[in-house]
Chain A
Amino acid sequence: MTTFLQLTVNAGGRGALYAMLALGFVIIFRATGVLNFAHGSLLLVGGYTVYRLSDPLGFAMAVVAGLLVTGALAVLIERALVARSKNADPIALALLTIGVDVVLTEEVARRLGTETPFLRAPWAQEVIRVGDLAILQGQLVALVSGVVLIGALLLLLRFTSWGLSMRAQAENREAAALMGIRNAQVTAAAWLVAGLLAGVAVIFLATPDFSGSGISRSTHALALVAFPAAIIGGLDSVGGAILGGFLVGLTEAYAGEYIAFDFAKSAVFIVMLAVLVIRPSGLFGSKEVHRV
């Protein structure tokens, strides 16, 4: 029983990170209609920036720099590339983000060479004991940060005019434009937010509490595990992304413990397949409607 509780609690932190990444996917999808395969490279670029600047600037400032870089990069990808492919359908745009992802990932991998450095976060590898449970401090910080950030984002979406513009544009782009909503600004802001979320997520994902290796191709691969989180929830559902993120975190933890360690990721994808077969647009996603 304690193992189960232990797993669940520790999966909470991971789930929060996946939720953040999944939210990033959903926000981009709602704004641009594209699944951003370049998210993994955003993680890598952010993590690499923090790594390189940790020594000269100290961890906290390095994190700020990392966030700035990932945010800016996300906006750059959208403005310089995605916005230019105006007539491209969602599949072509997804392919575009794959191309960007390849280039960015190779560049970071090239600079790292054979190193896979961990980010030296101040909370890393400390353990908090609550009764029988041993909670990694990193997991806790991740969970709390996740909850705070996601909560703040939800509040922003719900109660600010920016959030309203975002929701309006996702609903009906043309009508929103006619109502005076600047599509370009809203879209750029959406990508910025997604980039920032990725920038936060990597600070945790590249520490020993969460991963066997530091900044490397496997960090990039973690973003791929966040895809099922967004898909399970439904690509255009904000609530679904959050639920999906935690679901994926739990699935990974339980499958890794109770079935086999190396089955964890496959389990996540199999769960996603099962959900898709029952609900082809995810649990809360809206169905595609074709008019003939």
Chain B
Amino acid sequence: MTAVAEAVPALRVEDVVVRFGGVTALDQVSFEVAPGSIHAVIGPNGAGKSTCFNVISGLYAVESGAVWLGERCLTDEPPHRLAGIGLGRAFQNVALSNHVTVLDNVMVGRHSLTTGGFLAAGLRLPRMRREQRRHTERAREICAFLGLADRLDESVGALSYGDRKRVDIGRALATEPSILMLDEPAAGMNDHETQEMAATIADIRDALGISVLLVEHDMTLVMSIADHITVLDFGRRIADGTPQEVRTDPEVLRAYLGSDADGTELGGLPTSSPGSAAGDPASATQRSSA
């Protein structure tokens, strides 16, 4: 896989406020993802991490504030345009089509890069067949990179959890993003699997030069690969800096461990049970895409 030649834009979250009914899920949250960096968003349960993610990927509406990817304002666009602008997202609960093959799932990611409706596809126009071959090749490359090469024709539902997560990432990569958003990539994984996931994420960044934004509970993963960390608590940003800075920040320690934390460090301490991403204090209906 060759590195992306053009400059990868920065993602800027600016003073975002999100409210659900009477609850303020995000309160003036701001941070910036430097191009080509791995940026983690962490925080205790209910801090608003998933809300933040959903805002960036257009599923929730902001009350005020904005999200920018380079020159484009993401919060102005409907969700389905974001893939074309450069945002690729993998989901916490692996939102794949279970009865469909791995390759077919990954190819969905090529949707915004291809054209052709029912008639063109039905009539098997040569232009479309050529395009299909090209993009299938690229999808195979991505799958090979993620170690899925010999599972391309298997139904996703039959794969292991870890493999399904990879397919989800592969699908997000297939959109050729400038920034890859990973929602709890290590959820439900043991130490060994988490290490592999960390390595994969680092490989993706190294090979493609894209930014990676991740929400994560697992401190080992975060501390080992993140270049920059933003910490949320009760919808507010309470810390923002390098892993070194964050692990000793008193505000952060207080948020995770309570006010009796003194002279301790974050990292290696289980902060919550893996995969328990209840996250948002309220449920909300999504912004519709039309």
Contact = CB atoms under 8 A, between A and B. Distances in A.
Interface string A255-292: 00000000000000000000000000000000101111
Contacts of B286: 290, 292
Nearest to A292: B91
Interface string A126-138: 0000000000000
B285 A292 contact: no
B194 interface: no
A235 B85 CA distance: 40
A291 B286 CA distance: 9
B contact residues, range: 10 to 19
A291 B95 CA distance: 10
A156 to B, nearest CB: 30
Interface in B53-86: 54, 59
B93 interface: yes
B275 to A, nearest CB: 13
Interface string B71-111: 00000000000000000000111010000000000000000
A104 to B, nearest CB: 31
B283 interface: yes
> Of residues A287, A289, A290, A292, which shows the largest number of chain B Cβ atoms within 10 Å of its Cβ?
A292
A289 B91 contact: no
B139 to A, nearest CB: 23
A291 B54 CA distance: 10
A contact residues, range: under 10
A199 B95 CA distance: 44
Chain A facing B: main interface SS: loop
Interface string A82-94: 0000000000000
Nearest to A287: B285
B251 to A, nearest CB: 29
Interface string A148-170: 00000000000000000000000
A87 B51 CA distance: 31
Interface string A47-83: 0000000000000000000000000000000000000
B54 A289 contact: no
Interface in B141-167: none
A287 B285 CA distance: 8
B168 to A, nearest CB: 12
B283 A291 contact: yes
> Of residues A287, A290, A291, which shows the largest number of chain B Cβ atoms within 10 Å of its Cβ?
A291
B87 to A, nearest CB: 14
Contacts of A292: 54, 59, 91-93, 95, 286
A290 B92 CA distance: 13
A79 to B, nearest CB: 29
A291 B93 contact: yes
A289 B285 CA distance: 6
Interface string B269-290: 0000000000000011110000
Nearest to A290: B286
Nearest to B279: A291
B203 to A, nearest CB: 26
Contacts of B93: 291-292
A291 B92 CA distance: 10
A287 B286 CA distance: 11
A91 to B, nearest CB: 14
A35 to B, nearest CB: 22
Interface in B233-290: 283-286
A289 B280 CA distance: 13
Contacts of B283: 289, 291
Nearest to B283: A289
A287 B54 CA distance: 19
Contacts of A290: 286
Contacts of A287: 285
A291 B60 CA distance: 12
A291 B278 CA distance: 10
A272 B125 CA distance: 42
Interface string A175-192: 000000000000000000
B205 to A, nearest CB: 24
Nearest to B59: A292
Nearest to B54: A292
A287 B283 CA distance: 11
Contacts of A291: 93, 283
A291 B93 CA distance: 9
A56 to B, nearest CB: 54
Contacts of A289: 283-285
Contacts of B92: 292
Contacts of B285: 287, 289
Nearest to B53: A292
A291 B59 CA distance: 10
A292 B215 CA distance: 13
14 contacts: A287-B285, A289-B283, A289-B284, A289-B285, A290-B286, A291-B93, A291-B283, A292-B54, A292-B59, A292-B91, A292-B92, A292-B93, A292-B95, A292-B286
Query: Which 9 pairs of residues, A with B, have the shortest CB-CB distance?
Result: A289-B283, A287-B285, A292-B91, A292-B59, A292-B95, A289-B285, A292-B54, A290-B286, A292-B92
Given A289-B285, A291-B283, A292-B286, 11 more contacts: A287-B285, A289-B283, A289-B284, A290-B286, A291-B93, A292-B54, A292-B59, A292-B91, A292-B92, A292-B93, A292-B95
